[in-house]
Amino acid sequence: MALTEPRTTIAKSDDAADHSLREWLEVVDALGQLRHISGASTDPEIGEVADFLQHEEQSPAAIFENIPGYDPMFRVLVNSFGHTDRIAMTLGLPSGLGKVALSETWRKRIRNLKYIPPRFVADGPVMENVVRGDAVDMNIFPTPKWHTLDGGRYIGTGSFDITRDPDDGWVNLGTYRVMIHGKDTLGYYISPGKHGRMHRQKYFERNERCPVAMVFGGDPLQFLASCTEIPLGVSEYEWVGGVRGAPVDVIEGPVTGLPIPANAEIVVEGFASADNMRTEGPFGEWTGYYGSASREEPVLKVEALYYRNNPILVGAPPAQPPEEMVRARSILRSALLMDELERFGVPDVVGAWQHEVGGTRMFTVVSVKQRYPGHARQVLHLASQSRSAAYAGRYTVVVDEDIDPSDLEEVMWAVCSRSDPATSIDIVHRAWSTPLDPIIPPARRDIGDYTSSRALIDATRPWEWRDKFAPVNAPPREVREAARRRWAYLFER
Ligand SMILES: Cc1cc2nc3c(=O)[nH]c(=O)nc-3n(C[C@H](O)[C@H](O)[C@H](O)COP(=O)(O)O)c2cc1C
Ligand SMILES: [Mn+2]
């Protein structure tokens, strides 16, 4: 989305639906999946509740009210995506689907997605409260201490940062954690190679300040887009518009000119500069560790704060996988990986799953119907370095089409029985990783070497003698299922 293009600004959204978090919460409440909690503390209670809810599959969302020490109407929401039906609802898909069916349905739904640019509006609910300059105080929000060893309070977890490419105007939304350093000073961490980081780098290389807007709660679909590997150069706003079939309403930020969502809960605008750094971290990360410890990182000097009346801060703290966000993203990112492999032009990829246990990054499995010698390795290498799986990867596995890539036990059975360690594993050195990666040793961190290796495991029957490979002794899936149905009474007591 280039902001330089001519545009018209309308007074107000004329849609019946406002696509806000509040509207979404009404639907969740009607589903019976919203719990209200009164009086819990920001340290440690909200973090503790978030932790067990996020780790429980198919669990309710929770909204905290009357938080001691804060305005009783300022609220915190956690575990938005802790149920497959809430993920489906957010994506505009039917409820009742399992994770793989949901991922496949989603993939069909966004095939040939037509991006819809956002629509500029003059005003919106986010402007109900406007605070500028010295009056800005981020400490008014009930920001939890999410994990015991966190180096501060992280207001940005279920959040996203809006940045613009100074070259072509492309507007990116990315979820990057944000901590409170002081009343108008926020620390934020972006891993190398992420879109927001590349934008910031470009400003800093020109000795310019980097304008940033941050959204701490708003439309759940915008948040999902912001933490998903949407392609380079595509604005997550346009993607959300495309998914919904209606443009996102945005207001031109008075300070930065960045488009900010008109119906967001809490938004800040400000600038980062190369000479303004503070110690960021440690923070409990998606790997299950405080891997990146603490480092000097740029801070955002907040110049303006906007929030709705009775704002809702959205929390989605990362934690040891599998948890809420990892489960949600496995559904989206497995579909993205299938799309990428299709666009690469490799035939007969049957399925793919980016496993929850690896944080949807470190354990990726693709199944293929082999057609020619080298086919399996081609799929393996492409999957390992694809946009949706390259960052912070570890193990990529290719299996034959009779193996369900989402089923860990089937996959590991294939690895155990169809791979020969001496010849089936390719190692890639110095691949794209991150300071978060716990296996990078101190000496390599000291020189800024944030790469790690990959194991690519070919667990398919070797092509040349596949017909001589020992036959599988289990009945075909349909036969087993039919037998199970026929003899179902054996399970009854
Ligand atoms: C709860 C949550 C927290 C995240 N925190 C960070 C973070 O602090 N830094 C980071 O680089 N990526 C973080 N991510 C991952 C990015 O959001 C993700 O890679 C996304 O694709 C980035 O947007 P981009 O592709 O436009 O760069 C987080 C994801 C989630 C779900
Ligand atoms: Mn992006």
Q: What is the pLDDT of residues 314-338, one digit of tens each?
A: 999 999 999 999 999 999 999 999 9
Mean pLDDT of 57-62: 97
Q: Mean pLDDT score of the chain, rounded to an integer?
A: 96
pLDDT digit string, tens, across residues 42-53 = 999 999 999 999
Does the beta carbon of 327 lie inside 6 Å of ligand 1? no
Asked whether 191 lines ligand 1 (CB < 6 A), one says: yes
From atom 22 of ligand 1, which residue's Cα is the shortest distance away?
174
Q: Could you tell me if 426 and 392 are in contact, meaning their C-beta atoms sit under 8 angstroms apart?
A: no
Lookup result for tokens 């505009």: 92
- In short, whether 179's Cβ falls inside 6 Å of ligand 1 is no
Distance 229 CA to ligand 2 centre (A): 6
Q: Ligand 1: does its nearest atom lie under 6 Å from the Cβ of 78? A: no
335 membership: H or E segment, kind and range: helix 324-344
d(CA 93, CA 293): 39
pLDDT tens digits for 129-168? 999 999 999 999 999 999 999 999 999 999 999 999 999 9
- H helix or E strand, kind and range, residue 25: helix 21-30
Looking at residue 442, its pLDDT comes to 97
User: Looking at the predicted structure, is the pLDDT value of residue 16 above 80?
Assistant: no
| CA–CA dist 53, 40 (Å, integer) | 15
What is the pTM for the complete model shown? 0.96
Q: Ligand 1 pocket, 196 CB below 6 A?
A: yes
Question: How much distance in Å is there from the Cα of 107 to the middle of ligand 2?
Answer: 18
450 lines ligand 1 (CB under 6 A): no
Ligand 1, atom 20, residue with closest C-alpha:
227
pLDDT at residue 4 above 50? no
* CA nearest ligand 1 atom 31, residue: 227
DSSP codes joined into one string, 57-85: SS--EEEEES-TTS-TT-EEEE-TTSSHH
Give the pLDDT band of residue 17 (cuts 50, 70, 90).
Answer: confident
Ligand 1, residue 195: give the atom nearest the CA: 27
Order of strands across the sheet that contains 75-78 = 34-38, 61-65, 75-78, 312-315
Q: Answer yes or no: is pLDDT of 3 > 70.
A: no
DSSP string, 155-183: EESS-EEEEE-TTT--EEEE---EEEEET
Token pair 């009930």: residue: 142
Q: Is the pLDDT reported for residue 11 higher than 90?
A: no
Which ligand 1 atom sits nearest the alpha carbon of residue 156?
Answer: 3
Ligand nearest to the backbone CA of 323: 1
User: What is the model's pLDDT at position 7?
Assistant: 60
Whether the pLDDT of residue 13 is over 60: the answer is: no
Q: Which ligand has the nearest atom to the CA of 195?
A: 1
Best residue among 81, 194, 283 to mutate for probing ligand 1's pocket (most ligand atoms within 8 Å of CB) is: 194
Mean pLDDT of 361-365: 98
Query: Which residues are CB-contacts of 394 (< 8 A; sequence separation ≥ 6)?
Result: 358, 361, 362, 363, 452, 454, 455
In order of their start, the domains of the chain are: 9-32+110-310 (2.30.110.10), 324-484 (3.40.1670.10)
Distance (Å) from CA 285 to ligand 1 centroid: 11
Instruction: Name which of 359, 419, 428, 410 is nearest 389 in CA terms.
Output: 359
Enter the DSSP assignment of 12. S
Q: How far is CA 248 from CA 117, 245, 259, 419, 457, in A?
A: 7, 10, 10, 48, 42
The residue whose CA is least distant from atom 19 of ligand 1 is 227
Residue closest via CA to ligand 1's atom 6 equals 176
Which of 227, 229, 283, 297 to probe ligand 1 with, by most ligand atoms within 8 A of CB? 227
Cα–Cα distance measured from residue 235 to residue 226, given in angstroms and rounded to the nearest whole number: 10
**Residue 54 Cα, ligand 2 centroid: separation in angstroms?**
25
CB-based contacts of 314, cutoff 8 Å, min separation 6: 21, 76, 77, 78, 80, 157, 158, 159, 216, 217, 218, 223, 265
Ligand 1 and 325: CB distance under 6 A: yes
Q: Closest Cα to atom 5, ligand 1: which residue?
A: 176
CB-ligand 1 contact for 459 (6 Å cutoff):
no
Whether the CB of 177 sits within 6 Å of ligand 1: yes
Establish whether residue 290 lines the binding site of ligand 1, counting it when its CB lies within 6 angstroms of any ligand atom.
no
Asked if pLDDT for residue 6 goes beyond 90, the answer is no
Q: What is the position in ligand 1's atom list of the atom closest to the CA of 160?
A: 17
Ligand nearest to the backbone CA of 231: 2
